A and B are shown apart, each in its own frame.
Chain A
Amino acid sequence: AAGVIQSPRHLIKEKRETATLKCYPIPRHDTVYWYQQGPGQDPQFLISFYEKMQSDKGSIPDRFSAQQFSDYHSELNMSSLELGDSALYFCASRRAYTGELFFGEGSRLTVL
Protein backbone atom coordinates (compact mmCIF):
# COMPACT_ATOMS: atom_id res chain seq x y z
CA ALA A 1 0.00 0.00 0.00
CA ALA A 2 1.15 3.52 -0.74
CA GLY A 3 2.55 5.44 2.19
CA VAL A 4 3.44 9.04 2.91
CA ILE A 5 6.63 9.93 1.06
CA GLN A 6 9.02 12.53 2.42
CA SER A 7 12.09 13.91 0.76
CA PRO A 8 14.90 14.34 1.31
CA ARG A 9 15.43 11.83 4.11
CA HIS A 10 18.55 13.60 5.30
CA LEU A 11 19.64 17.18 4.82
CA ILE A 12 22.66 19.07 6.09
CA LYS A 13 22.69 22.86 5.97
CA GLU A 14 24.75 25.72 7.34
CA LYS A 15 23.37 28.40 9.62
CA ARG A 16 21.40 31.10 7.82
CA GLU A 17 20.80 28.86 4.79
CA THR A 18 17.41 27.81 3.44
CA ALA A 19 15.92 24.33 3.28
CA THR A 20 12.83 22.87 1.65
CA LEU A 21 11.20 19.62 2.68
CA LYS A 22 8.65 17.86 0.54
CA CYS A 23 5.76 15.61 1.45
CA TYR A 24 3.65 13.45 -0.82
CA PRO A 25 0.51 12.26 1.00
CA ILE A 26 -1.29 9.02 0.46
CA PRO A 27 -3.56 9.24 -2.62
CA ARG A 28 -7.05 10.57 -1.83
CA HIS A 29 -5.89 12.01 1.51
CA ASP A 30 -6.88 15.63 1.64
CA THR A 31 -5.24 16.73 4.89
CA VAL A 32 -1.52 17.15 5.52
CA TYR A 33 0.23 17.83 8.83
CA TRP A 34 3.81 18.87 9.60
CA TYR A 35 5.53 18.06 12.87
CA GLN A 36 8.97 18.87 14.25
CA GLN A 37 10.72 16.57 16.70
CA GLY A 38 13.89 17.71 18.42
CA PRO A 39 16.25 15.27 20.17
CA GLY A 40 14.55 13.63 23.13
CA GLN A 41 11.34 15.57 22.59
CA ASP A 42 7.81 14.73 21.55
CA PRO A 43 6.62 15.65 18.06
CA GLN A 44 5.50 19.29 17.99
CA PHE A 45 2.76 20.35 15.62
CA LEU A 46 3.75 23.03 13.12
CA ILE A 47 0.96 23.46 10.59
CA SER A 48 -1.75 21.61 8.71
CA PHE A 49 -3.62 21.94 5.44
CA TYR A 50 -7.04 20.74 4.38
CA GLU A 51 -7.91 20.85 0.70
CA LYS A 52 -4.94 23.12 0.03
CA MET A 53 -5.97 25.68 2.64
CA GLN A 54 -4.21 26.16 5.94
CA SER A 55 -6.46 24.62 8.57
CA ASP A 56 -4.50 24.85 11.83
CA LYS A 57 -1.27 26.43 12.99
CA GLY A 58 0.98 25.49 15.85
CA SER A 59 4.39 26.60 17.01
CA ILE A 60 5.76 27.29 13.55
CA PRO A 61 8.46 30.01 13.51
CA ASP A 62 7.92 33.01 11.27
CA ARG A 63 11.03 31.91 9.34
CA PHE A 64 9.10 28.82 8.22
CA SER A 65 6.34 28.69 5.66
CA ALA A 66 4.41 25.89 4.07
CA GLN A 67 1.84 25.27 1.41
CA GLN A 68 -0.15 22.49 -0.17
CA PHE A 69 -0.26 22.32 -3.94
CA SER A 70 -2.98 21.34 -6.38
CA ASP A 71 -1.70 17.74 -6.48
CA TYR A 72 -1.95 17.71 -2.64
CA HIS A 73 1.76 17.46 -2.05
CA SER A 74 3.10 19.88 0.53
CA GLU A 75 6.37 21.72 1.04
CA LEU A 76 7.86 23.15 4.22
CA ASN A 77 10.23 26.03 3.56
CA MET A 78 12.69 27.02 6.27
CA SER A 79 14.83 30.12 5.97
CA SER A 80 17.60 31.70 8.07
CA LEU A 81 18.27 28.30 9.58
CA GLU A 82 19.43 28.16 13.18
CA LEU A 83 21.20 25.42 15.09
CA GLY A 84 17.98 24.78 17.01
CA ASP A 85 16.17 23.87 13.81
CA SER A 86 18.10 20.59 13.74
CA ALA A 87 15.38 18.00 14.15
CA LEU A 88 13.31 15.28 12.56
CA TYR A 89 10.48 16.70 10.50
CA PHE A 90 7.49 14.46 10.00
CA CYS A 91 4.70 14.83 7.53
CA ALA A 92 1.42 13.03 8.03
CA SER A 93 -1.69 12.70 5.92
CA ARG A 94 -5.27 11.88 6.68
CA ARG A 95 -8.51 11.43 4.86
CA ALA A 96 -11.04 13.91 6.20
CA TYR A 97 -13.39 12.62 8.91
CA THR A 98 -11.36 9.46 9.44
CA GLY A 99 -9.45 8.83 12.63
CA GLU A 100 -6.07 7.70 11.42
CA LEU A 101 -3.03 9.85 10.73
CA PHE A 102 -0.41 8.20 8.53
CA PHE A 103 3.13 9.43 9.07
CA GLY A 104 6.07 9.43 6.74
CA GLU A 105 9.52 8.24 7.76
CA GLY A 106 10.66 11.79 8.41
CA SER A 107 13.33 14.14 7.12
CA ARG A 108 16.33 14.64 9.37
CA LEU A 109 17.66 18.18 9.15
CA THR A 110 21.07 18.97 10.60
CA VAL A 111 22.13 22.61 10.80
CA LEU A 112 25.86 23.17 11.29
Chain B
Amino acid sequence: DAKTTQPPSMDCAEGRAANLPCNHSTISGNEYVYWYRQIHSQGPQYIIHGLKNNETNEMASLIITEDRKSSTLILPHATLRDTAVYYCIVRVDHYGQNFVFGPGTRLSVLP
Protein backbone atom coordinates (compact mmCIF):
# COMPACT_ATOMS: atom_id res chain seq x y z
CA ASP B 1 0.00 0.00 0.00
CA ALA B 2 1.13 3.56 -0.74
CA LYS B 3 2.73 5.57 2.05
CA THR B 4 1.10 8.75 3.23
CA THR B 5 2.52 11.95 4.71
CA GLN B 6 0.53 14.21 7.01
CA PRO B 7 1.53 17.18 9.17
CA PRO B 8 1.97 16.05 12.78
CA SER B 9 -0.32 18.71 14.21
CA MET B 10 -2.72 21.51 13.28
CA ASP B 11 -4.87 24.01 15.10
CA CYS B 12 -8.25 25.28 14.01
CA ALA B 13 -10.60 27.83 15.52
CA GLU B 14 -14.01 26.57 16.55
CA GLY B 15 -16.62 27.21 13.86
CA ARG B 16 -14.04 27.53 11.10
CA ALA B 17 -13.27 24.98 8.42
CA ALA B 18 -10.48 22.54 9.18
CA ASN B 19 -8.48 21.49 6.11
CA LEU B 20 -6.26 18.48 6.71
CA PRO B 21 -3.80 17.64 3.92
CA CYS B 22 -2.38 14.26 3.00
CA ASN B 23 0.31 13.44 0.44
CA HIS B 24 0.26 10.02 -1.22
CA SER B 25 2.49 10.52 -4.23
CA THR B 26 3.04 6.78 -4.81
CA ILE B 27 -0.63 5.87 -4.91
CA SER B 28 -1.58 3.37 -7.56
CA GLY B 29 -4.69 3.29 -9.69
CA ASN B 30 -6.66 0.80 -7.64
CA GLU B 31 -5.94 2.30 -4.22
CA TYR B 32 -8.56 4.20 -2.28
CA VAL B 33 -7.97 7.12 0.09
CA TYR B 34 -9.55 6.60 3.51
CA TRP B 35 -9.83 8.98 6.43
CA TYR B 36 -10.33 7.88 10.01
CA ARG B 37 -10.05 9.75 13.26
CA GLN B 38 -9.39 8.74 16.84
CA ILE B 39 -10.68 10.75 19.73
CA HIS B 40 -8.61 10.11 22.84
CA SER B 41 -8.59 6.39 23.77
CA GLN B 42 -11.71 5.65 21.73
CA GLY B 43 -11.75 3.26 18.80
CA PRO B 44 -10.90 4.88 15.46
CA GLN B 45 -13.91 6.23 13.62
CA TYR B 46 -14.45 6.09 9.88
CA ILE B 47 -14.97 9.49 8.26
CA ILE B 48 -14.96 9.14 4.49
CA HIS B 49 -13.20 7.49 1.57
CA GLY B 50 -12.83 7.95 -2.17
CA LEU B 51 -11.07 6.70 -5.27
CA LYS B 52 -10.74 9.69 -7.58
CA ASN B 53 -13.87 11.78 -7.33
CA ASN B 54 -14.50 14.25 -4.55
CA GLU B 55 -16.79 12.90 -1.88
CA THR B 56 -19.04 14.47 0.75
CA ASN B 57 -21.01 13.04 3.61
CA GLU B 58 -22.56 14.35 6.79
CA MET B 59 -19.20 14.51 8.53
CA ALA B 60 -16.77 15.87 5.98
CA SER B 61 -15.69 16.43 2.40
CA LEU B 62 -12.80 14.72 0.67
CA ILE B 63 -11.01 16.52 -2.13
CA ILE B 64 -8.63 14.39 -4.22
CA THR B 65 -6.34 16.08 -6.71
CA GLU B 66 -6.65 15.12 -10.34
CA ASP B 67 -3.31 13.27 -10.31
CA ARG B 68 -4.42 11.58 -7.05
CA LYS B 69 -1.09 12.32 -5.38
CA SER B 70 -2.66 14.28 -2.56
CA SER B 71 -5.98 14.85 -0.85
CA THR B 72 -7.58 17.18 1.67
CA LEU B 73 -10.13 16.33 4.32
CA ILE B 74 -12.41 19.25 5.08
CA LEU B 75 -14.43 19.57 8.26
CA PRO B 76 -16.66 22.50 7.29
CA HIS B 77 -17.47 23.83 10.77
CA ALA B 78 -15.08 22.41 13.32
CA THR B 79 -16.29 21.95 16.89
CA LEU B 80 -14.38 21.16 20.06
CA ARG B 81 -15.53 17.54 19.69
CA ASP B 82 -13.56 17.29 16.45
CA THR B 83 -10.30 17.46 18.40
CA ALA B 84 -8.68 14.13 17.53
CA VAL B 85 -5.89 12.42 15.62
CA TYR B 86 -6.81 12.16 11.94
CA TYR B 87 -5.40 9.35 9.83
CA CYS B 88 -5.14 9.30 6.06
CA ILE B 89 -4.85 5.71 4.80
CA VAL B 90 -4.31 4.54 1.26
CA ARG B 91 -5.08 0.94 0.45
CA VAL B 92 -6.54 -1.46 -2.05
CA ASP B 93 -10.07 -2.34 -1.10
CA HIS B 94 -9.48 -6.06 -0.55
CA TYR B 95 -11.33 -8.06 2.03
CA GLY B 96 -9.38 -8.76 5.18
CA GLN B 97 -6.32 -6.71 4.36
CA ASN B 98 -5.41 -4.43 7.17
CA PHE B 99 -5.62 -0.67 7.55
CA VAL B 100 -2.30 0.86 8.63
CA PHE B 101 -2.77 3.72 11.09
CA GLY B 102 -0.24 6.44 11.59
CA PRO B 103 1.33 8.72 11.94
CA GLY B 104 -1.62 11.04 11.57
CA THR B 105 -2.40 14.69 12.24
CA ARG B 106 -3.32 15.78 15.73
CA LEU B 107 -6.03 18.41 15.20
CA SER B 108 -6.76 20.75 18.07
CA VAL B 109 -9.93 22.80 17.76
CA LEU B 110 -9.56 25.90 19.87
CA PRO B 111 -12.43 27.88 21.43
Q: Do A and B originate from a single complex?
A: yes
A interface vs B, CB < 8 Å?
A: 4, 30-31, 33, 35, 41-45, 48-50, 55-56, 58, 88, 90, 92, 94, 96-97, 99-106
- Closest-by-CB residue of B relative to A32 is B96
Please tell me if the beta carbons of A48 and B46 are within 8 angstroms of each other in the complex: no
Contact B93 A48 (CB under 8 A): no
Number of interface residues of B (CB under 8 A): 24
**B98 at interface by CB-CB < 8 Å:** yes
Which residue from chain B places its CB closest to the CB of A99 in the assembled complex?
B49
Q: Contacting A101 at CB < 8 Å: which of B44, B85, B102?
A: B44
Query: By the criterion CB–CB under 8 Å, are B103 and A42 in contact?
Result: yes
* B96 near A56: Cβ-Cβ < 8 Å: yes
Q: When chains A and B are docked, how far (Å) is the Cα of A103 from the Cα of B43? A: 5
Residues in B whose Cβ lies below 8 Å from that of A99: 32, 34, 46, 49, 93
Measured in the bound complex, the distance between the Cα atoms of B49 and A32 in whole Å is 19
User: Nearest CB to that of A44 among chain B residues?
Assistant: B101
A35 to B42, CA, bound (A): 12
Interface CB pairs A-B, < 8 A, 11: A31-B95, A42-B102, A45-B98, A48-B98, A50-B96, A56-B98, A97-B93, A103-B43, A103-B44, A104-B43, A106-B43
How would residues 36 to 63 of chain B score, 1 for a CB under 8 Å from any chain A CB and 0 otherwise?
Answer: 1010011111100100000000000000
In the complex, A96 Cα to B38 Cα: how many Å?
23
B45: which A residues are within 8 A, CB to CB? 103
* 4 tightest Cβ-Cβ pairs between the two chains A and B: A55-B96, A103-B43, A42-B102, A50-B96
Inter-chain CA distance A105–B32, complex, in Å, is: 26
Return chain B residues, CB-CB under 8 Å to A92.
43-44
Q: Is the CB of B96 within 8 A of A101?
A: no
Additional pairs, 18, CB under 8 Å, beyond known A41-B102, A56-B97, A58-B98: A42-B104, A43-B101, A45-B98, A45-B101, A48-B97, A49-B96, A50-B96, A55-B97, A90-B44, A97-B93, A99-B32, A99-B93, A101-B36, A101-B99, A102-B46, A103-B45, A106-B41, A106-B42
